[in-house]
């Protein structure tokens, strides 16, 4: 991703500022301080339309779509967007709304820049789109109700660098959240908007160590100083301008500090600038080394405000950051002497002189692990083989095992068993593995085992939801991998049962994302939960309505088991069950099984079903797929699955402007790309 050019930025500013209706800011001329703030409050309060809390999701496609970084139509999330480099994950509007989450990338929700507990979740504050942004659920939860400030010794750091931890902002020492520099000005101007729009109500809000209790200045002094600095550090961006214009269409008022950023200083004053660098760290020492890392310690630097972090270099090359006076530098070569140095940084970005140099030599390990033993086939399906083995040993430690099928390295695991997926039916495979240590010494081969996958027409899928985590009373998006197949569910819950655990969908769906060997017939058990009326689930294969449905009874009805025959779609397929009854019906699903596609005289594979994806070169070089195929520009999402069947990467609108896909640090091994209804296997070397 690249930042927009200055010339284009200027033209966008000129265009955007013309979007406020003529006379919108009448009466502000010559005003400053509290008088200007109060006048702006009256202007942006008049005409403000409250679209409700659920209405925010309706507004977000116009206010928070990425048109300036990746320009890929995904949700612009200030907690996951990386202005330079590849985003760690993306969301698409209306998909993966929270709900339940356990890790970054699970789902997105509505982040109140001013926490809603401050105003007791009352309207219109709770649904004011000018300060409520769509963000990753996990990071939103970690931010909690903390104010925004500068962080030292972060307790949590998101994948794009958003931090939560103790404050080093002058005047406050509690926990705070610090976004990346790209969005500091955005957040500052959202908060300035809030305390202006609702200045007459601030005395009744909780301050949260953030808000003031009077109309002017409306902020705690320490928070005001942080936000003034951030507003200056990060000027108004094109995405803010677009958001302000879209928000005006959505709720009929504007953020005046995006239209006129100069009003920030006219109301609250100029930021206090820190230009003093920290002192140099001292007494840097290498306390220990391994074959690939070095452990360092040093004496802390000092600063007029506070030291926030340290940068560590090896032979003049930046290696890592640390918020303490210790660090482990990894990724080093064995048997090599390195010269280390450290610099201190403060919150304003001032960098200290370098520390003393410290030399350290990594250890040498030339001893390979022993061979893994007792490799055994534990189960066989039509498209997968599961194997297990006894651990290898090593003088330092075994790091991983490489699994080979024939001469192809399928993938790597640190476990003592593995599911090998995406295999062909009725095919005999020869399997062995080797162990590796941290520096890449390779063991002799294990024993070799052979196994023959089952023939088509037998069970291809068998999901009973036994591995689902039970989350009470929580509708959300869930993602999991089972028996070599990746699953996802929308608007669903996991706390109901039929024959053991079941998945319950409301106005949502259950999808098997990548199913090798096609589908012949499908069997499903369904039951209505709670209140509602009888209805059906619709079956889609490769996003095409098959015209086949799965019935369920009304309230208090027994579970219904249905077998759908004659589906007969070949190749790697996507299977989706979609709620087709009343939107309020909640339908539990259990015991989903299907047979592989079996060719017959009556059913033949058409040209449309044959694989038309081509990846070149294959094996893949330089972490980049070149892809050719039919109608790629219409593919909404492409998926990459590893050798176990687990989804490892999803790419939104992958071929909108290019025929290439950048891989996200995939290790060596065999993978499968699914784009639309077509698939292709490839190898990363």
How far CA 126 is from CA of 58, 133, 196, 198, 245, in Å, comes to: 15, 11, 16, 12, 20
Cα separation of the two ends of the chain: 26
Stretch among 151-160, 206-215, 497-506, 649-658 having the lowest mean pLDDT: 649-658
The angle at the Cα of 65, spanning 575 to 110, to the nearest 5 degrees, equals 80
Contact status, residue 320 vs residue 326, Cβ threshold 8 Å: no
Mean pLDDT is highest, among 252-256, 322-326, 489-493, for 252-256
Q: Burial, 310: exposed, middle or buried (Cβ in 10 Å; 0-12, 13-18, 19+)?
A: buried
pTM: 0.53
Per-residue pLDDT at 19: 67
Containing H/E element for 380? strand 373-380
pLDDT at 573 over 90: no
pLDDT at 439 over 90: no
Per-residue pLDDT at 476: 77
Measured distance CA(214)–CA(286) in Å, rounded: 54
pLDDT digits (tens, 9 = 90+) for 6-20: 333 433 333 334 368
Contact status, residue 540 vs residue 564, Cβ threshold 8 Å: no
3-state secondary structure of 655: coil
pLDDT at 540 over 50: yes
Q: All domains of the chain, ordered by start, with CATH? A: 6-16+32-268 (no CATH), 282-361 (2.60.40.10), 373-452 (2.60.40.10), 459-595 (2.60.120.260), 611-684 (2.60.40.3080)
Q: Which residues contact 5 (CB under 8 A, 6 or more apart)?
A: none
Containing H/E element for 503? strand 500-515
- Residue 611 confidence class, pLDDT cut points 50, 70, 90: very low
Measured distance CA(298)–CA(283) in Å, rounded: 5
3-state secondary structure of 330: coil
**What is the DSSP code string of 392-431?**
P--SS-EEEEEEEETTEEEEEESSSEEEE-SPPTT-EEEE
Per-residue pLDDT at 2: 36
Q: How far is CA 188 from the centre of its chain?
A: 24
How far CA 170 is from CA of 17, 150, 369, in Å, comes to: 35, 9, 54
**What is the average per-residue pLDDT within 608-637?**
78
Measured distance CA(191)–CA(224) in Å, rounded: 10
């Amino acid at each position: 991703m690249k930042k927009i050019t200055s010339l284009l930025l200027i033209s966008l500013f000129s265009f955007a500022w013309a979007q406020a209706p003529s006379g919108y800011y009448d009466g502000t001329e010559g005003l400053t301080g509290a008088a200007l703030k109060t006048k702006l409050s009256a202007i942006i309060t008049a005409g403000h339309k409250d679209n409700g809390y659920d209405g925010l999701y309706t507004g977000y496609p116009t206010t928070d779509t990425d048109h300036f970084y990746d320009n890929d139509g995904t949700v612009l999330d200030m907690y996951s967007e990386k202005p330079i480099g590849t985003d760690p994950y993306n969301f698409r509007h209306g998909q993966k709304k929270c709900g339940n989450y356990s890790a970054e990338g699970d789902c997105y929700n509505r982040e109140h820049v001013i926490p809603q507990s401050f105003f007791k979740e009352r309207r219109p504050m709770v649904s004011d789109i000018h300060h409520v942004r769509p963000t990753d659920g996990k990071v939103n939860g970690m931010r909690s109700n903390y104010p925004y400030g500068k962080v030292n010794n972060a307790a949590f750091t998101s994948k794009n660098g958003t931090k939560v931890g103790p404050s080093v902002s002058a005047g406050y020492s509690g926990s705070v959240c610090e976004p990346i520099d790209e969005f500091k000005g955005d957040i500052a101007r959202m908060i300035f908007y809030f305390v202006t729009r609702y200045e007459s109500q601030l005395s009744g809000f909780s301050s949260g160590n953030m808000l003031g209790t009077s109309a002017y200045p409306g902020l705690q002094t320490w928070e005001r100083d942080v936000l003034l600095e951030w507003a200056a550090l990060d000027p108004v961006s094109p995405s803010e301008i677009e958001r302000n214009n879209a928000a005006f269409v959505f709720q009929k008022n504007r953020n005046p500090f995006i239209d006129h950023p100069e009003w920030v200083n006219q109301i609250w004053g100029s930021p206090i600038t820190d230009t003093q660098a920290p002192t140099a760290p001292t007494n840097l020492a290498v306390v220990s080394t391994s074959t690939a890392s070095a452990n360092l310690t040093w004496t802390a630097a000092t600063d007029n405000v506070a030291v926030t972090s340290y940068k560590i270099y090896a032979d003049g090359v930046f290696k890592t950051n640390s918020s303490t006076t210790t660090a482990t530098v990894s990724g080093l070569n064995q048997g090599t002497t390195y010269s280390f140095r450290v610099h201190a940084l403060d919150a304003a970005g001032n960098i200290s002189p370098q520390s003393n140099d410290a030399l350290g030599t990594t250890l040498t390990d030339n001893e390979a692990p022993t061979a893994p033993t007792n490799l055994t086939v534990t189960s066989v399906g039509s498209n997968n083989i599961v194997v297990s083995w006894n651990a290898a040993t090593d003088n330092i430690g075994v790091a991983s095992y490489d699994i080979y099928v024939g001469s192809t390295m399928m993938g790597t695991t640190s476990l003592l068993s593995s599911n090998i997926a995406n295999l062909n039916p009725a095919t005999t495979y020869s399997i062995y593995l080797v162990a590796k240590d941290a520096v890449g010494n390779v063991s002799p081969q294990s024993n070799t085992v052979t196994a023959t996958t089952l023939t088509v027409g037998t069970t291809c899928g068998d999901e009973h939801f036994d591995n689902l985590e039970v989350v009470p009373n929580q509708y959300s998006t869930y993602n999991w991998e089972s028996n070599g197949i990746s699953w996802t569910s929308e608007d669903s819950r996991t706390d109901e049962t039929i024959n053991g655990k079941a998945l319950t969908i409301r106005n949502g769906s259950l999808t098997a994302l990548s199913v090798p060997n096609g589908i012949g017939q499908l069997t499903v058990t369904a039951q209505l939960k709670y209140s509602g009326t009888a209805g059906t689930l619709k079956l889609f294969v490769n996003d095409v309505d098959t015209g086949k449905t799965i019935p369920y009874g009304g309230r208090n009805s027994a579970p219904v088991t249905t077998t759908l025959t004659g589906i007969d779609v070949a190749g790697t397929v996507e299977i989706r069950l979609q709620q087709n009854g009343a939107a309020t019906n909640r339908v539990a699903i259990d015991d989903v099984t299907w047979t592989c596609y079996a060719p017959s005289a009556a059913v033949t594979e058409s040209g449309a079903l044959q694989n038309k994806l081509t990846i070149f070169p294959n094996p893949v070089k330089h972490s980049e797929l070149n892809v050719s195929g039919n109608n790629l520009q219409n593919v909404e999402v492409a998926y990459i699955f590893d050798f176990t069947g687990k989804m490892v990467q999803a790419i939104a609108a992958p071929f909108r402007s290019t025929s290439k896909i950048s891989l996200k640090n995939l290790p060596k091994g065999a993978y499968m790309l699914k784009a639309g209804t077509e698939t292709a296997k490839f190898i990363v070397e």
